């Protein structure tokens, strides 16, 4: 075993089951370990590194920003903070942005915003509907919205007044919805549940139910957002207009940033209601501007659509070829293949053969590569995966 792994085992808390690989650096869509072994990265740090590794514009912008200033308080404006917020608003249906540091924090912010929105309407309007098998993060509030026993059971009781509905089952949402519902939160594609896309009619009916009951529709785009599915936000492909969206992961191209955006109707937070010391500091918002500019002005969204369609085509071909591939699901560069064989073995074989991929749920392998991935990389990925399925 590598000395680094031994030392890591000694000092790092065991909140992850790590693979025995010590990563050293990356270039494009490839990572290299401490021994110089090269890995094709179909994982992107779990859908984070939108522009891959050492992207020239992102690297240069960050280097320049490090020389200028890393952090200042949110009690001041910076060009980077304002620029990032402007890019989000001008490329979406939203009017205002709050910056934080992660997906869970973006959902915490959304949770508080929804509660305040409800309280302004009536004292008892504080019920939130979340979906079974959802994933919204591991902090206390976000975990309460994450309706999965395996994540929640050791930490009960959690935040109260959260009700669980069945995903893609409008009757179960209807049964819980009332004038005391202040929000519904859901993912457009349930990621951690095993890449399960929402049905269009379901999302549209949830939107209508929210409108009828004056409840906020919150879409968690932490994984699906920032171009992952070929549009800036995945909900754009569903013909709905949520009131609130949470985002993180790809937003900083690898630096830690999260955000919640809302429409004017939901813009109820005032000074003192919510805050984050680091949220939107100049380093991370400088990175966000690069990522958003690549997506919205330099053709990266179209690239994702094209390469995402190619990835899906290739995965569907594997389904025809291998009995152990049960299903292929996803949109754009967020695709999952459901297997009938243990996914851990497949992940290990892929690592041996020079590719990093990530599981989703019990039996799904997820492809969430850097958005700059090319068709030739997909061909390489499929040939490595094929070896692991034989």
Ligand X SMILES: Cc1ncc(COP(=O)(O)O)c(C=O)c1O
> With CB under 6 A as the contact rule, which of the stretches 28-36, 102-110, 171-179, 338-346 interacts with ligand X?
102-110
Would you say 248 or 291 has its CB closer to ligand X?
248
Question: What is the C-alpha separation between 244 and 238, in angstroms, rounded?
Answer: 15
Would you say 105 or 380 has its CB closer to ligand X?
105
Would you say 162 or 222 has its CB closer to ligand X?
222
Question: What is the C-alpha separation between 334 and 356, in angstroms, rounded?
Answer: 15
Rule CB under 6 A: is residue 108 a binding residue for ligand X? no
Of the candidates 197, 367, 230, which has an alpha carbon nearest to the alpha carbon of residue 305?
Answer: 230
Q: How far is the CB of 332 from ligand X (least distance, A)?
A: 15
* Binder among 52, 118, 191, 282 for ligand X (CB under 6 A): 191
Would you say 103 or 280 has its CB closer to ligand X?
103
Which DSSP helix (H) or strand (E) runs through 25? strand 23-27
* Binder among 222, 292, 325, 368 for ligand X (CB under 6 A): 222
Strand partners, 140: none
Interface mask toward ligand X for 355-374; x: CB under 6 A: --------------------
Would you say 100 or 325 has its CB closer to ligand X?
100
| Closest residue to ligand X, based on beta-carbon distance | 103
CB 221 within 8 A of CB 247: yes
Rule CB under 6 A: is residue 102 a binding residue for ligand X? yes
DSSP 3-state percent helix, strand, coil across the chain (nearest 5): 40, 20, 35
Q: How far is the CB of 46 from ligand X (least distance, A)?
A: 6
Q: How far is the CB of 112 from ligand X (least distance, A)?
A: 16
Main-chain phi, psi angles of 181, to 5 degrees: -80, 125
> With CB under 6 A as the contact rule, which of the stretches 99-107, 112-120, 275-283, 319-327 interacts with ligand X?
99-107
How far is the CA of 97 from the CAs of 74, 224, 284, 360, 366, in angstroms?
A: 13, 18, 15, 29, 30
Would you say 111 or 384 has its CB closer to ligand X?
111
Main-chain phi, psi angles of 305, to 5 degrees: -60, -45
CB 368 within 8 A of CB 228: yes
Question: What is the C-alpha separation between 318 and 327, in angstroms, rounded?
Answer: 10
Q: How far is the CB of 18 from ligand X (least distance, A)?
A: 16
Q: Which residues bind ligand X (CB under 6 A)?
A: 46, 102-104, 107, 135-137, 187, 191-192, 220, 222-223, 248
């Amino acid at each position: 075993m590598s000395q680094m792994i031994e030392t890591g085992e000694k000092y790092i808390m065991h909140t992850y089951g790590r693979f025995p690989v010590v990563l050293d650096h990356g270039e494009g869509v490839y990572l290299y370990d401490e021994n110089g072994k090269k890995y094709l990265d179909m994982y992107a740090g779990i859908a984070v590194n939108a522009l891959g590794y050492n992207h020239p514009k992102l690297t240069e912008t960050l280097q320049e920003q490090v020389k200028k200033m890393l952090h200042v308080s949110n009690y001041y404006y910076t060009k980077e903070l304002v620029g990032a917020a402007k890019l989000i608003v001008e490329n979406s249906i939203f009017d205002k942005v709050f910056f934080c540091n992660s997906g869970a924090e973006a959902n915490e912010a959304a949770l508080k915003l929804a509660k305040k929105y409800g309280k302004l309407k009536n004292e008892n309007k504080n019920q939130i509907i979340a979906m079974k098998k959802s994933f919204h993060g591991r902090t206390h509030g976000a975990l309460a919205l994450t309706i999965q026993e395996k994540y929640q059971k050791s930490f009960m009781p959690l935040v109260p007044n959260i009700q669980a509905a069945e995903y893609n089952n409008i009757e179960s949402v209807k049964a819980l919805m009332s004038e005391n519902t202040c929000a519904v939160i859901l993912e457009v594609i349930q990621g951690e549940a095993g890449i399960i896309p929402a049905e269009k009619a379901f999302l549209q009916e949830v939107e209508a139910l929210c409108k009828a009951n004056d409840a906020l529709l919150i879409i968690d785009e932490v994984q699906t957002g920032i171009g992952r599915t070929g549009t800036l936000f995945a909900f754009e492909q569903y013909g709905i207009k949520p009131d609130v969206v949470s985002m993180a992961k790809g937003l900083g191209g690898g630096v830690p940033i999260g955000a919640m955006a809302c429409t004017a109707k939901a813009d109820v937070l005032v000074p003192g209601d919510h805050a984050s010391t680091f949220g939107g500091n100049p380093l991370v918002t400088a990175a966000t501007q690069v990522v958003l500019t690549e997506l919205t002005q330099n053709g990266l969204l179209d690239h994702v659509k094209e390469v995402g369609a190619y990835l899906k085509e290739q995965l569907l071909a594997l389904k025809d070829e291998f009995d152990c591939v049960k299903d292929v699901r996803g949109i754009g560069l967020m695709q999952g293949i459901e297997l009938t064989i243990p996914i851990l073995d497949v992940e290990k074989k892929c690592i041996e053969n020079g590719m990093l991929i990530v599981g989703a749920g019990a039996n799904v392998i997820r492809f969430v590569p850097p958005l700059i991935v090319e068709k030739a990389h997909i061909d390489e990925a499929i040939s490595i995966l094929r070896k692991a399925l034989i």
